[in-house]
Chains A and B, each alone.
Chain A
Amino acid sequence: MIPRSLAGGLFLIVRRSLAQHALSTAVAALASALACGLVIAVFAVRQQAHDAFAGSASGVDAVLGARGSHLQLVLNAVYHLDTSPGNIPWSLYEQVRADPQVDVAVPYAVGDSWRGWRVVGTTPERFTRLEERKGRRLAPAPGGRVFDPALREAVIGSAVADSTGLRVGAEFHPEHGLSHEGAEEHEEEYVVVGVLEPTNTPADRVIWIPIEGVFRMGGHVLRGAGTEFRPKPGEPIPDEAKEVSAVLLKFRVPMAGMRLDQAINRQGKDATLAWPVSRSVAELFDKLGWMDRVLALVAWLVMLVAAGSILAALSNAMNERRRDFAILRALGAKRRVVFAAILLESTAIGALGAAGGWLVAFALAAGAAAVVRAQTGVVLDAAQVHAAAAFAPAAMVALAALAGVLPAVRAYRTPVADTLAPVS
């Protein structure tokens, strides 16, 4: 296409130059795309992870557990990660359950697994009263149901079903401990009576059984009363002997959290109340904050290196292009025209990189989301757009333009007569 304006002429010069130096253009644009995508992905994944983890805990106001770390308690009872910090007596569960300001109190007992999938003992209220996400409870898919608390029945998360092939009617023997490697199978056999609908939360990775089943699992010793108690088949277990890993709480009024926090954390010595759960999530991300900052720093440095590659690509081409610039100047092009042509070229490479950066960011975020989902069950929202998707490409384009200044100055200074004229 023949240019009809000076701007059109500039674009033609840039287009032709990019095509003439296709390899160096492609390498510089690719480096820019990777850098830009990395910056976007670091910020976006961080935000998505924060929101997804916070969202996964939205149905629980607080977690009551053994004296220790709030974060460990939340990771264990809400995200089904980490180990339990210890147990608390059943009486504490009964106590908070009876509190008029507590709407729901669901016991949580952990200690067994099956093929690496965590087996959690709880009550049917976990499915009927607690929300997993805002407005969404754990619900068995059609053809399944919640376990009978008096029987050896299990309800499994969708990720467990997908991965292990367990279906309604399947039987399994829980294994002692949370690791599959070298674990001993319990004698008790459980039958799957329900597969939960996918929730995209860590609950998808859990096998749920009645809490009574955990108490009575072969080899389990209960120490709720301070002494060891081994349940016998057919005989009731005294409440004082029972113990649980944690209690998930939903309050009727926010004041309850403050009051229980005062009573349990500040005045008590036996237990810990992780309240609000969102604070523990924030604490988790605060602890990981240094990693974010290092990653962001590395990403920004990669962006600088990408700008350097643009500078190198343009600088390397300058010698062969000096004659072109001198010809353009001899034809009447002003110095600022050749300056602008180089600046436009470097900016164009940066813009190509910025555009590619979105694709790279999407790919990186999708990869990160797959890893997070596989490891935690938390699903990142890939559709969520972070401000980095705007400021990183803008920064890339600006840096690319900056990288073009030095070669542009060289083009600006091209001596026309010396470059063109043969000695005569």
Chain B
Amino acid sequence: MPLLQLRNVVKSYAAPDGATAPVLDVASFSLEAGEHVALRGASGSGKTTLLNVIAGIVVPDAGEVVVDGTDVARLSEPARDAHRARTTGYVFQAFNLLQGFTALENVALGMLFGGIADPARARGLLERVGLGDRMSYFPRQLSLGQQQRVAVARALANRPKLVLADEPTGSLDAASGAQALALIREVCREAGAALLLVSHDAEVLGAFEKRLELAAINRAPAGATP
């Protein structure tokens, strides 16, 4: 059984004129455990909505979103939160680090919500991403590349089976982006986690053996994302 399986997933948003505009309409999509897949999609193609639906942050209007054997679309909100914390790591385009907390606290806090209290692992992960000497730094004291590395460490902290990455190199220059991408793939491989990355950057996509056009699985018209 695949680690991730989407069946007939539909998500619509209300347009300003009151009509509903479908942004996601995926008949079928799956991801095996440990598999790395890149999805290419232009702006407004529903990339982020797809990842949010898989993460359980957004509930689809219809369909099944099975992650690690559980249909997250049918779970209550607290159960989705708990499931996400246990099974899914999320790397955001804007990193989304907690600005008032150190690099180590950012990683450790993420772990707590998954029920893991292991400061040693948090430190180990930061060392793994090359920030062993920056653990007590606040995000504003780190470069963008370093911030992205903290975000990667945080996404991997709960030993997730699935890592979602939304334009993870979008805020970085080419060299830093390539480094960050290599790091994400490397640590996911080490952890045995599946990786689903969405990007519009052809260079990023080129690094993946398996890559798909989002339009190939999403039947909703592009540009409908609110």
Contact = CB atoms under 8 A, between A and B. Distances in A.
B64 interface: no
Given A4-B119, A329-B57, 11 more contacts: A3-B109, A12-B101, A331-B90, A332-B85, A337-B113, A417-B49, A421-B49, A421-B52, A422-B167, A424-B166, A424-B167
Interface in B104-127: 104-105, 108-110, 112-114, 117, 119, 122
A332 B117 CA distance: 14
Interface in A4-38: 4-6, 8-9, 12-13, 16-17, 19-20
Nearest to B109: A9
B43 to A, nearest CB: 6
Interface in B75-113: 77-78, 81-82, 84-86, 90, 92-94, 96-101, 104-105, 108-110, 112-113
Nearest to B107: A2
A395 interface: no
A336 B78 CA distance: 9
B84 A17 contact: no
A16 B119 CA distance: 18
Given A324-B98, A420-B96, A424-B45, A332 B110 contact: yes
A421 to B, nearest CB: 4
Contacts of B46: 424
A385 interface: no
Contacts of A13: 109
Contacts of A424: 41, 43-49, 93, 166-167, 198, 200, 225
A327 interface: yes
Contacts, number: 117
B21 interface: no
B51 to A, nearest CB: 8
A333 B81 CA distance: 6
A12 B105 CA distance: 9
A326 B55 CA distance: 14
Please tell me the size bucket of the interface on B.
Answer: 35 or more
B96 A330 contact: yes
Nearest to A324: B98
A221 interface: no
B225 A332 contact: no
Majority secondary structure of chain A interface residues (helix, strand, loop or mixed): helix
B226 interface: yes
Given A20-B100, A334-B82, A328 B113 contact: yes
B205 interface: no
A237 B43 CA distance: 115
Contacts of B97: 327
B3 interface: no
A363 interface: no
B156 to A, nearest CB: 13
Contacts of A328: 98, 109, 113
Contacts of B48: 417, 421-424
A200 B99 CA distance: 59
A416 interface: yes
Contacts of A2: 104-105, 108, 119, 122
A417 B96 CA distance: 12
B187 interface: no
Interface string A389-424: 000000000000000000000000000110011111
A332 B84 contact: yes
Contacts of A129: none
7 contacts: A2-B122, A3-B117, A16-B101, A324-B98, A420-B92, A424-B43, A424-B200
B177 to A, nearest CB: 16
B113 A331 contact: yes
A424 to B, nearest CB: 4
Given A9-B109, A421-B48, A329 B81 contact: yes
B108 A3 contact: yes
Interface string B201-224: 000000000000000000000000
B159 interface: no
B57 A331 contact: no
Given A416-B57, A423-B44, A423-B226, A331 B110 contact: yes
Contacts of A327: 96-98
Given A9-B112, A422-B94, A417 B101 contact: no
Q: Which of A8, A332, A333, A423 counts the most B-chain CB atoms under 10 A from its CB?
A: A332
Interface in B27-50: 41, 43-49
Contacts of B144: none
Contact of A423 (B55, B109, B225): B225
A293 B35 CA distance: 74
A335 interface: yes
A323 interface: yes
A332 B44 contact: no
A328 B113 CA distance: 9
B58 interface: yes
Contact of A335 (B78, B109, B225): B78
A2 B117 CA distance: 9
Q: Which of A20, A330, A417 counts the most B-chain CB atoms under 10 A from its CB?
A: A330
Contacts of B92: 330, 420
Contacts of A329: 57, 81
A334 B166 contact: no
Contacts of B198: 424
Contacts of A335: 77-78, 81
A375 to B, nearest CB: 52
Contacts of B167: 422, 424
Contacts of B44: 423-424
